[in-house]
Structure 1
Amino acid sequence: MKAATWLLLLLAHISIAVAQKNKPVYLFSYFKGNGEDGLHLAYSTDGFKWQALKNDSSFLTPTAGKDKLMRDPCIIRGADGRFHMVWTVSWNERTIGYASSKDLINWSEQQAIPVMEHEPASLNCWAPEIFYDAGTKQYMIYWATTIPGRFPQGDSAGDNKYNHRMYYVTTKDFKTFSKAAILYDQGFNVIDATIQKNGKDFVMFLKDETRYPPQKNLRIATSKNCTNGYSAPSAPITGNYWAEGPTVLKQGSQWIVYFDKYTRHQYGAITSTDLVNWTDVSEKLEMPKGIRHGTVVEITGKELKKLLSN
């Protein structure tokens, strides 16, 4: 074999090895049951086949809040390189849970952040998420809360006493927080929002929680600012079933939205390249049994290796 040919083959093998080493790894944080046992994690290299880690046992037992639940865990990688997580601590408390970690295994002391304590009539703080705004160099934590009578429009259209709107606070250090303010109110019951950056725009995927007449579907709103100015919702992007808990992964030009088809006790996924036309790809999904509402974050192969050895 000529030296030049041998060199080309060697370079090709090195290139393949580097590509495999640098291949993205995706991590899905979720809960099971009522969230009483804490944080569950699964991983995937293609975004469709997900494998539970640690034999699908909990990575973190909840201690924050009175009810000590860990529902709807949302994890992002912060500007400081740490993983930051928020979650629902209870069905009926006015706080949300927070903790951070360098490696997704060893976590800081859990906090119960009293984001709605200044609103004594508020019933809940559900499905919180975090977004880091590079423009303002601060984190936004947002969630759904019902305050009876605050928004008469939609009061009779929800489930029982609930008529949610999206609220938010901002922080730079997870020690001091702005006062909670309205993030999204378009005159209907809204919950389970998740925000993604798309060029210069911010895209909010949300659940229309209207019960009468039933909607229970996912929609999209957009804004030029992450904390305000979101548009009226799009037409539903999910089908003729009840959907909740969207989380989003961007692979190249393709958007993948994962969500819980909760009345069918199964997970679903839809894809799009333009955020307008959507294709249902639920049949491609392989998810851990009993998985509930969670979020996706990209991690490194090195981080996955440590999780696998835990």
Structure 2
Amino acid sequence: MPLSRRNFHRLTALGALSAATGGGAVLGSASAAQAANTAYVFGYFKETPNASGDSYALHLAVSTDGLNWRPLNQNNPVATPTAGMQGLRDPFILRKQDGTFVVLATDLKGRIFNLNNQYLHVWDSTDLRSFTGYRRVKFHSLNTHTWAPTAFWVPSRNEYAIVYSANNGRDVLMVNYTSDFRTVSANQVYYSPSYNVLDADIVSDGSTFYMYYKNMDDGRLYGARSSTGAPNSYTNYTSGLLQGGAIEAPLIVRNNSGNTWRLWGDSFSPVNSDYYAWTSNNVGGNSWSVLPQRDYTPPLNVKHGSIVGITQAEYDNLVSRWGLPNWVRLKSYNFPDRYVRHASNVGRIDAYPFDPHEDQLWRMVPGLADSSAVSFESVNIPGRYLRHSNYAIQLAANDNSASFRGDATFVRTAGLADSTWSSFRSYNVPDRYLRHSNYVLRIDPLTSSSAAADRQDATFRVS
């Protein structure tokens, strides 16, 4: 089996299905149109390469564009299972027909995948600010796993379908139906082609259902469609999609605005970027374009989650309840898989993920030499700041001298390579900007006439 079971999930439908699949905008109103949603919430669990940042619990992040995410609750859990394995993977958030939410998750803790489990964790939630009715629901009596749930409303049955990964002699997708997420129908095979499959995500657009999944035999993502969404009714319509060396856990998302779509795939190699993405104006066509990594920033240490559209009021309420992080990350413009971090007290940019992951977290505080500017204090070594010394960037303890305060202060400006990003001019050597060179940070003279590559080296996204 692959090293992890990770995917995003989002169920989106039009008309009567909108509220059941994340399109509903007002809690308690299943008829609210998808257009009322202006933001997104993302539920996930966490892992890091050496397991130091692992968290097998429900985490939440929010975004206004569905691309760049800010964790809630300082990236700490908002709900943790207390039964079964007492840990979860693969959380899926569904907005039900009544506008409230249900959370489904794999009952598994850690990275050992040969433990078969017949149950899923389930919570109810009115607004994702509290989680009630925790229970485990049994889906079958087979000697196999119950992984990576996704769910959607089936009008013809007046029930929800819950689809998950299992093994029936080979890896297949199973389905159970429910009206209350407490009792479920007998399990049946949902999709079983001539090859092993994993990690389905299913959306509805008009009267057509679209399913994306991983073909385990060739390691690529495929799309299939059905006019009914019934078991064994899907026909492939895309060629295999792949970015990076390994990919799984597809997620297909209709954007809140416009008729555009995003398809996400999760890299499960610890040395690669965690996510790749495509975009398309036609979910029914085989016309996906690669979305540059520069355009999106997943939540820190995120694994296998789900995305749901929310209103501005819901966004505000979630932020009020859980709070946004008191730290930032600095993403490189021209190496968008790399983030500013300290290592052996040297400032540099390294490819994410890495450990200790806290090395990339900064408190961007009022400038030590000028409160209208900024300074960067390390989160995991408080009292140490990024400062320049002989133009090289170091992490050093604040001795409160005037020279240190000046060296550790930077004036934030519009990005030299992209004005929607940021650049940082040295406070006490004002003709020089913070930039990377051979992945190491320093300050160098830069102007609008400097080489484009140099301006890109000095441009960062604060997230």
TM-score by length of 2: 0.55
Number of the residue aligned with 2:267: 261
Check conservation: 1:23, 1:45, Cα contact below 8 A: no
Check conservation: 2:222, 2:236, Cα contact below 8 A: no
- Please state whether the residue corresponding to 2:308 is helix, strand or coil: strand
Q: Which structure has the greater CA radius of gyration? A: 2
Work out the CA distance in 1 between the residues paired with 2:158 and 2:134: 23
Q: How far 1:259 sits from its partner (Å)?
A: 2.3
Q: How many pairs are equivalent?
A: 268
1:53 corresponds to 2:72: yes
1:24-35 paired onto structure 2 within 5 Å: 24-33=38-47
Number of the residue aligned with 2:281: 273
1:216 corresponds to 2:219: yes
Work out the CA distance in 2 between the residues paired with 1:113 and 1:290: 28
> In the alignment, residue 235 of structure 1 is paired with which amino acid?
S
Q: How far 1:234 sits from its partner (Å)?
A: 3.0
Number of the residue aligned with 2:198: 191
- Please state whether the residue corresponding to 2:152 is helix, strand or coil: strand
Seen in structure 2, the aligned counterparts of structure 1 residues 84 and 274 have a Cα distance that, compared at 3 Å, is same
Q: How far 1:166 sits from its partner (Å)?
A: 0.1
1:108 corresponds to 2:111: no
> In the alignment, residue 242 of structure 1 is paired with which amino acid?
A
- Per-residue CA deviation, residues 4-36 of structure 1 (Å, 9 max, x unaligned), is xxxxxxxxxxxxxxxxxx661111111102874
Which of 231, 237, 242 lines up with 1:238 in the alignment?
242
- Please state whether the residue corresponding to 2:229 is helix, strand or coil: coil
Number of the residue aligned with 2:167: 146
Greater Cα shift, 241-250 or 192-201: 241-250
Seen in structure 2, the aligned counterparts of structure 1 residues 265 and 64 have a Cα distance that, compared at 3 Å, is farther
Note the aligned Cα RMSD (angstroms): 1.9
**Structure 2: where are the runs of 5+ without partners?**
1-35, 322-463
1:300 corresponds to 2:311: yes
Work out the CA distance in 2 between the residues paired with 1:115 and 1:56: 31
Q: How far 1:265 sits from its partner (Å)?
A: 4.1
1:77-226 paired onto structure 2 within 5 Å: 77-90=95-108, 91=113, 92=115, 93-117=117-141, 119=142, 122-147=143-168, 150=169, 163-210=170-217, 215-226=218-229
Greater Cα shift, 43-52 or 71-80: 43-52
Q: How far 1:240 sits from its partner (Å)?
A: 4.9
Q: How far 1:298 sits from its partner (Å)?
A: 0.5
Check conservation: 1:268, 1:281, Cα contact below 8 A: yes
Check conservation: 1:31, 1:73, Cα contact below 8 A: yes
Among the aligned pairs, what percent are the same residue?
A: 28
Seen in structure 2, the aligned counterparts of structure 1 residues 47 and 89 have a Cα distance that, compared at 3 Å, is same
> In the alignment, residue 259 of structure 2 is paired with which amino acid?
S
- Per-residue CA deviation, residues 117-171 of structure 1 (Å, 9 max, x unaligned), is 2x2xx22111011111234321111101113xx3xxxxxxxxxxxx310000001
Work out the CA distance in 2 between the residues paired with 1:70 and 1:207: 21
Q: How far 1:81 sits from its partner (Å)?
A: 1.3
Work out the CA distance in 2 between the residues paired with 1:134 and 1:26: 25
> In the alignment, residue 55 of structure 1 is paired with which amino acid?
Q
Work out the CA distance in 1 between the residues paired with 2:249 and 2:275: 10
Check conservation: 2:226, 2:234, Cα contact below 8 A: yes
Work out the CA distance in 2 between the residues paired with 1:36 and 1:183: 31
Q: How far 1:183 sits from its partner (Å)?
A: 0.4
Check conservation: 1:268, 1:285, Cα contact below 8 A: no
Check conservation: 1:269, 1:280, Cα contact below 8 A: yes
Q: How far 1:105 sits from its partner (Å)?
A: 2.1
Q: How far 1:113 sits from its partner (Å)?
A: 1.3
TM-score by length of 1: 0.81
- Please state whether the residue corresponding to 1:55 is helix, strand or coil: helix
Check conservation: 2:199, 2:250, Cα contact below 8 A: yes
